[in-house]
Amino acid sequence: MTRPDDTLARLGIDVEALRAGSISAAELAPRLAGADGVALAAALGDVAAPSVAALLVAIEPSVADRDVRKEIRRALYRLRQRGVPTPASEPSPSASARPAAVDIEGLLSAFDARGDRIAWIVRPAPSGTALTVAATLNEPAGLRDVHVAETSRKQLRTVRRRMETEAAIRLVAADWRVVDALLVEAHERAGGGASERDYLRIRPRLTSEPPAPASEPVSRRVAAPTDDELPALVAASVALVEEPELRGWYPTQEAAAPFVERIAEIRASPLLVSRAAQEERVREVVANAASTLFPPPVLRRRLEGTAYVLAETGRVEPARRALAAARALGQRPAAALEVPLVAALVERTVGALLAQTTARQEQERSGSLVMTPGEFLKDRAASRPGRTRG
C-alpha cells in the first residue's frame, strides 16, 4: 500500500515544508488541477497539520474538477476527525458576480511549426448567442492577435469543422481558467498595447476572477511518466514526427541555411585533413543548430501543450512520449540533441538541405577543372606509384 508521504514525495512536495506552512495555495493549486489531483488531495488529508487544512480550504473553491473537489472535502473531514482545526471557508466578495464555471468553455489547439496555437473561450450570452474570444498565441513570443464576437453555437460548430477539414487545426476542450491564464501570460509577453493584442481589455466581459498561474493543461487520461519509464519513452519519442500535429515542426530553410553552409564549408575545407576532426566540427555545428532552431525551454513548452491535445484525442502513448521528451529537455537542456525527437527534427531540416547543397556542389565541380587543395592531395595520393623495397 502506498503511504501518503510516498505519494507526496513522488509528486515533488516536501512534507516538512507543508507542515511548516512554507507552501502557498498558489504553488499547490496547479498540482491539484493536474492528472494526480485526486491522489494528491487524498495524501494531503493524511498530513495532520493546521497549515495543510488551511491550504485545502483556500484552494477548494477554485478547483474545477469535481472529483478533486470531492477528495479535498473528504481530506478536510478526515483532518477534522483527527482534531486538526480547519478554518471556515468564506465566499469571495465577488462570488455573486462570477459567471458559473460550468457555463464557460475553453478550447485549445496543438502548436504548429511556428509555435502558434489557437485558443478559444466561449461564454453563453443572455441573448442566447455565445460570446467568443478567439486568439492566436505563440510560444515564446506571446499573443499575436485576439478577437471577440457574439455568434450562434451552430456558427461555432461550422467554424470548428472548417478549421479541422481545411486547415487541419483541431480544437480540444480545456478548463477555461487554464486557457484564460495562458492568454493573460501571452498578453504580458507581447506587451499588450495594440487593440488586436489587448486581451486584458476583453477579459472583464468573461470573468472578474483573478487569473490563475499560467501552466499547460494536464490531461487526466494520461499518467505522468515515472523515472523508470522515462528512458524508454524518450527513446521512442522519434516516432512523434509521424503525428499530424508534429509533421510540420521544421524551421524554415532561411533559419537552417547558416548551419548547412557551415557544415558544407567544414567538409570542403582543405585544412581539416583528419576525418575525426572534421566530424567533431560537424557535431558541434549540429548541436548549435539544435539549441538555436529548437531552444529546449521553448520546445519543452510546445511538447507539453501538444501532449494535452494528443491525450484528449485518444493518443495516449504519443502523449506520454511527448511528456517524457519535454521532461528530458527540462532535466538536461544542454543535452537536447540526445533526445531522439530533437535529433530527428534537426536531421530532417539540416540533413535534407545539406544533401541538396552537396549534390549541387558535386554537380558544379564535375564540369570544372578547378580543384580544392584537399581534393588535389587526395587525387595525387591515389595516383602515386607504390614504393618498392630494394
The reply to whether omega before 140 is within 30° of 0 (cis) is yes
Handedness of CA 43, 2, 320, 11 (dihedral sign): positive
CA distances from 265 to 235, 367, 376 (A): 32, 20, 17
Handedness of CA 28, 31, 33, 36 (dihedral sign): negative
CA-based radius of gyration for the chain: 27
- Determine the pLDDT at residue 185: 93
Query: Which SS3 state, helix, strand or coil, does residue 243 take?
Result: coil
- Here the cell at position 185 is 501570460
Q: Mean pLDDT lowest for which of 150-164, 189-203, 345-359?
A: 345-359
CA distance 263 to 287: 12
- Determine the pLDDT at residue 350: 78
Query: Which SS3 state, helix, strand or coil, does residue 108 take?
Result: strand
Q: Express each pLDDT in 157-178 by its tens digit.
A: 899 999 989 988 999 999 999 9
Distance in angstroms between the alpha carbons of the first and the last residue of the chain: 84
pLDDT for 136 beyond 90: yes
- Determine the pLDDT at residue 6: 75
SS (H, E, C) 29-93: HHHHCCCCHHHHHHHHCCCCCHHHHHHHHHHHHHCCCHHHHHHHHHHHHHHHHCCCCCCCCCCCC
Evaluate whether 110 touches 134 at the Cβ level (below 8 Å). no
Helix (H), strand (E) at residue 290 = helix 275-293
Closest CA to 76 of 89, 91, 66: 89
For the chain, give every domain's residue range: 4-81, 101-205, 230-376
Split at pLDDT 50, 70, 90, the class of 92 is very low
pLDDT for 180 beyond 90: yes
For the residues 107-124, what does the mean pLDDT come to?
Answer: 93
Split at pLDDT 50, 70, 90, the class of 55 is confident
pLDDT for 65 beyond 70: yes
Helical axes 66-81 vs 37-44, angle rounded to 10°: 10
CA distance 52 to 74: 13
Q: Express each pLDDT in 250-265 by its tens digit.
A: 877 788 888 888 887 8
Contacts of 144 (CB under 8 A, 6+ apart): 116, 135, 136, 137, 138, 190, 197
* Cross-strand bridge partners of residue 84: none
pLDDT for 217 beyond 60: yes
CA distance 294 to 263: 18
Question: Where does the chain show beta strands of DSSP type E?
Answer: 105-108, 116-124, 130-138, 142-151, 172-174
Split at pLDDT 50, 70, 90, the class of 358 is low
pLDDT for 243 beyond 90: yes
Q: For residue 193, count other CB atoms closer than 10 A to its CB.
A: 9
pLDDT for 94 beyond 50: no
